[in-house]
Amino acid sequence: KPPAQVKNFVAQVIILSHPGKIRKGYSPVHDCHTAHISCKWETLQKKMDKRSGKVKEENPEFLKSGDAALVEIVPSKGLCVESFKEFPPLGRFAVRDMRVTVAVGVIKSVV
């Protein structure tokens, strides 16, 4: 089946380098396959351990460099993505802000 336009998606992201704290409402550009679209980080669901995947904190207030988290993301306009499990090429993305890659992520589920 062809990928459909999504309303929002939940992704596991790893913050590589960001000078400050990332809070809900953060709206960077997401590069997924050939799309470059601004998306809003609606809710920070869980802060996790990068290696084991164990939950460190539920509903964290902010994220900083080196953190891994589950985040609900809402695209500002139409975006066609799939979960990483369904179709890996459309399930990964890079997060860019100020012309620098600040995070990378994989999509866990789409709505």
Contact 76, 91 (CB under 8 A): no
> What confidence score (pLDDT) does residue 13 get?
97
Contact 12, 83 (CB under 8 A): no
Residues (pLDDT < 50) of the chain are none
Q: Tens digit of pLDDT for each residue in 35-64?
A: 999 999 999 999 999 899 899 999 999 999
pTM of the full structure: 0.93
How far is residue 70's CA from residue 28's CA, in Å, rounded to a whole number?
Answer: 16
